[in-house]
Amino acid sequence: MKVLYAVSEAKPFIASGGLADVAGSLPVALRRRLIGCRLVMPMYEGIPEEYKNEMRFITHITVPVAWRRQYCGIFELKYQGVICYFIDNQYYFKRQGIYGHYDDAERFAFFSRAVLEMIPYIDFKPDVIHCNDWQTALVPVYYSKYYATREGFENIKTVFTIHNIQYQGKYGREILGDVAGFSEDDVSLLENDGCINFMKGAIECSNVVTTVSPSYAQEILNPWYAYGLDSILNARKYKIHGILNGIDTVSNDPATDKALPANFDVNHIEGKAKCKAALQKEMGLPVRADVPLIGVVSRLVSHKGFDLIKCVLDEMLSDSDVQMVVLGSGEWQYESFFSEAAQRYPDKLAVKLGFIPALASRIYGGSDMFLMPSKSEPCGLSQMFALRYGSVPIVRATGGLKDSVTDSGILGEGNGFVFEDYNAHEMLHTVRRAIDGYADRDGWAILRRRAMECDFSWGRSANEYIKLYKQLIKG
């Protein structure tokens, strides 16, 4: 079986979010299970030289973007056994940053078209093209309109994964012909709420739509979660599947992680206390082993639940003996809120604004609990990293958080603390349950062990994808 994994970011080449973690590890897991999986992504300026220097030029072709004919270089690099293709066009990709340019619609229409155009030039005819998020959402649309009956392209199945339905690739109607290269007859495939919507096109045209957790697959049928795509998703419900993401357990391992001041694992936990003391010192908090330390690593945006934290932070910090460390960047309102609060609670709250992967590791490793009260969370990987690093998650029951964390209050099992409603005091109550739980040192050690023993490696999820691909090819 041959799978071409098309994506707009992948670790270790370039990353802006969880998508890059998944793209950097699922293809490797598939290949280990003897599935021929190759990856294709844009050749961004920001890819480190060490990778660029290793790439091999295959050929160059011309790719149509509506009425334009654009240069497309194809480069290749093998990473952990997976052949990765890089689509080169300096006009589109030799820029600062990955997304957020005025012509993103055109850049990713080009990339999506290039994914298909390159197939005759690589020694790999895929059985399945697996696309991810709006940036590659036009691949299934182009395939069904322009390639399905073309010689050399027959019988390719398309899978489209929604990593976050909030970002759909929504543009004015004028791009339909001029940028995306479709005729007025195709408008019903792409139009939603009067806009051209790339994600809608993929939902219509791909053979299967997946999302990154079973709960999110249900939630996106509900208008509260669907950002306007609920009708089309309900109409196409029969092709939606939810498969929980895994994490790369080799590069995210507290036993070997070089960012940690001391390594540890579930049977050699001593190092964790050293990590905690070092983190307190690094962040300027009093170095105390007895106080529960809550970690937060997140983009500071509202769907991650910061409205709730904002509402009860004062109660949380003033009523309990607790410390909190926050790492993230994002919306100004949250950045300024946390910076200001850190000055008012210098012994309790420490905040670092930015995206610093090594500090993120030290927070997973050094904290006792990890707070993630998301309003919506398609999968979420941070709670999985936290579990692996022995930081017990406190989460709201939504999407992948619901599918990976169960409340330890129930039958004395479970791996964390969970609340149901998006309500600040419900969160506060749950944080207090965790703080009370921490006071029972023996009980906490058992809970932490259960958390660390959870297995979120790719095994099970990769097998589910393989099953899905096989059904598709057969069907």
Rounded to the nearest whole angstrom, what is the least distance from the CB of residue 381 to ligand GLC in the complex? 5
Cα separation, 9 vs 21, whole angstroms: 9
**For the residues of 105-133, what is the DSSP string, one character each?**
HHHHHHHHHHHHHTGGGTT---SEEEEET
Rounded to the nearest whole angstrom, what is the least distance from the CB of residue 374 to ligand GLC in the complex? 8
| C-beta of 144 vs 161, nearer to ligand GLC | 161
Cα separation, 296 vs 307, whole angstroms: 14
Rounded to the nearest whole angstrom, what is the least distance from the CB of residue 408 to ligand GLC in the complex? 23
**Backbone Cα Rg of the chain:** 23
Rounded to the nearest whole angstrom, what is the least distance from the CB of residue 361 to ligand GLC in the complex? 17
| C-beta of 132 vs 158, nearer to ligand GLC | 132
Q: By the criterion CB under 6 A, which residues form the site for ligand GLC?
A: 17-19, 22, 163-164, 212, 245, 377-381, 400
| C-beta of 6 vs 435, nearer to ligand GLC | 6
| C-beta of 378 vs 437, nearer to ligand GLC | 378
Q: Which two tokens stand for residue 452?
A: 């660390």
Cα separation, 125 vs 143, whole angstroms: 14
Cα separation, 367 vs 374, whole angstroms: 19
Burial class (CB in 10 A: 0-12, 13-18, 19+), 232: middle
| C-beta of 17 vs 73, nearer to ligand GLC | 17
Rounded to the nearest whole angstrom, what is the least distance from the CB of residue 30 to ligand GLC in the complex? 16
> Within a 10 A sphere around the Cβ of 345, how many other Cβ atoms?
17
Rounded to the nearest whole angstrom, what is the least distance from the CB of residue 427 to ligand GLC in the complex? 18
| C-beta of 117 vs 377, nearer to ligand GLC | 377
Specify the amino acid at residue 99: Y
Q: Which two tokens stand for residue 256?
A: 């070997």
CB 77 within 8 A of CB 54: yes
Rounded to the nearest whole angstrom, what is the least distance from the CB of residue 23 to ligand GLC in the complex? 9
| C-beta of 271 vs 378, nearer to ligand GLC | 378
Cα separation, 407 vs 124, whole angstroms: 46
Rounded to the nearest whole angstrom, what is the least distance from the CB of residue 97 to ligand GLC in the complex? 17
CB 435 within 8 A of CB 315: no
CB 222 within 8 A of CB 233: no
Is residue 151 helix, strand or coil?
coil
| C-beta of 169 vs 271, nearer to ligand GLC | 169
Cα separation, 158 vs 144, whole angstroms: 9
Rounded to the nearest whole angstrom, what is the least distance from the CB of residue 275 to ligand GLC in the complex? 24
Q: Which residue lies nearest ligand GLC, judged by its C-beta?
A: 18
Is residue 363 helix, strand or coil?
helix
| C-beta of 118 vs 209, nearer to ligand GLC | 209
| C-beta of 17 vs 261, nearer to ligand GLC | 17
Rounded to the nearest whole angstrom, what is the least distance from the CB of residue 19 to ligand GLC in the complex? 5
In the 8-state DSSP scheme, what is residue 368? S
Residue of 208, 211, 196, 220 whose CA lies nearest to 18: 211
CB 353 within 8 A of CB 339: yes
Cα separation, 384 vs 474, whole angstroms: 34
